[in-house]
């Protein structure tokens, strides 16, 4: 979703939000659970977010820009 919504700016957007590691998403999820905004399940595990992958690399590695139809095709 981040790549779809922010493209190659996704790492910058996440950095502005203070999200630098996948662990940070775990913190967000468990803070939402703690605030009563998400319902916990027995399968919830903070460890599932720990070092899942390199967030910066994961957001840009293999990124493909879909240019859609060419300008000539749209005229």
Whole-angstrom Cα distance, residue 38 to residue 61?
31
Write the pLDDT tens digit of every residue in 26-75. Answer: 999 999 999 999 998 888 888 888 887 788 788 888 777 777 665 555 55
* Chain CA centroid to CA 24, Å: 10
Angstrom distance (rounded) from CA 14 to CA 64: 19
Whole-Å CA distances, 40 to 24, 35, 45: 17, 11, 10
Number of C-alpha atoms within 13 angstroms, CB side, residue 4?
1
Give the pair of three-digit tokens for residue 32: 């939402």
pTM over cut 0.85: no
pLDDT value of position 15: 92
């Amino acid at each position: 979703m981040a790549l779809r919504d922010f493209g190659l700016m996704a790492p910058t957007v996440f950095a502005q939000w203070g999200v630098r590691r996948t662990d940070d998403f775990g913190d967000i999820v468990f803070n939402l659970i703690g605030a009563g905004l998400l319902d916990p399940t027995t399968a919830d595990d903070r460890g599932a977010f720990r070092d899942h992958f390199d967030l910066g690399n994961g957001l840009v590695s293999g990124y493909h820009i879909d240019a859609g139809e060419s300008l000539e095709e749209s005229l």
